[in-house]
Amino acid sequence: MNNTTSNTTEPLIEVRDLVKDYATGAETIRILKGINLKVKPGEMLAIMGPSGEGKSTFLFILGLLQPLTGGTYLAMGEDVSHLTRSEQATFRRKFAGFVFQSCNLFEHTTVYENLEFPLIYAGVERNKRDSMIISALERVNLGHRVHHPTNRLSGGEQQRVSIARALVNTPRILFADEPTGQLDGTNSSMVMDHFHAFVSEGEAAMVMVTHDPDVAAKCTRVLQLKDGNLYTV
């Protein structure tokens, strides 16, 4: 059966009977089959499951990066199921942070510039950006790399920059697709501790996709996506 949390706190995310179809030639395949879910402030939710089950697709729907086929999606109490692209972009800018499997850092830039872009996009005043950027980098132990060229960073450092960039705007909802996939055990544990502190210290929540049981064990809740539905692990 599908899963929801208790009702003691208003959820930041709520999906009701969410479905997602893909057309492949003359055939339509339903990969998400009526999912119901609530995610509340202070939660770190890990979504696990076999490859090809639609975990990243589900995450991208929650992040308003892919459309749903049917059902209802409420975020921050607002029905976002049918927002325009412009309205989706506004919502993401105000409330969401993203960490992807690929770092997606801007080429020929510095670490600072990568973190400054979302602040500019969000309209943060110039005199406030420095402290926000340094604080985010210190969360991932990269305060010493603030003006370093991104193309001269190791793969693990680049991933930590992408994590810092996701945190720099202090989003209410953080979405992460295999956020520790390029990190060694020490840095993976450190980043998860920072994620936990970030969620715990404010009114934020986090939804991540992971195949790593050690990473999932650091989350407050773990669900498995299999056969189009979510199940308690």
pLDDT, position 1: 39
Give me the mean pLDDT over the 73-94 stretch. 91
Residue 26 pLDDT > 80, yes or no?
yes
Residue 97 pLDDT > 50, yes or no?
yes
Residue 202 pLDDT > 80, yes or no?
no
Report the half-sphere exposure of 2 (CA within 13 A, side-chain side): 17
Residue 122 — very low, low, confident or very high, per pLDDT cuts 50/70/90?
confident
Contact 91, 83 (CB under 8 A): yes
Give the single-character DSSP code of 42: T
Dihedral angle sign, alpha carbons of residues 73, 74, 79, 84: negative
Give me the mean pLDDT over the 90-116 stretch. 88
Residue 197 — very low, low, confident or very high, per pLDDT cuts 50/70/90?
confident
Could you report how far apart the first and last alpha carbons of the chain are, in Å? Answer: 12
Cα-flanking dihedrals φ and ψ of residue 228, to 5°?
85, 5
Give me the mean pLDDT over the 29-40 stretch. 95
The rounded mean pLDDT for the chain is: 90
Residue 105 pLDDT > 90, yes or no?
no
Q: How far is CA 30 from CA 40, 54, 62, 90, 229, in A?
A: 27, 10, 17, 29, 11
Cα-flanking dihedrals φ and ψ of residue 75, to 5°?
-130, 130
Dihedral angle sign, alpha carbons of residues 199, 156, 180, 183: negative
pLDDT, position 2: 45
The tokens describing 172, both together, are 């209410």
Q: What is the pLDDT of residues 59-72, one digit of tens each?
A: 999 999 999 999 99
Q: What is the pLDDT of residues 212-227, one digit of tens each?
A: 999 999 999 999 999 9
The tokens describing 102, both together, are 């690929």
Give me the mean pLDDT over the 120-141 stretch. 92
pLDDT, position 4: 42
pLDDT, position 180: 86
Portion of the chain with pLDDT greater than 90, in percent: 64
Higher-scoring residue by pLDDT: 9, 92: 92
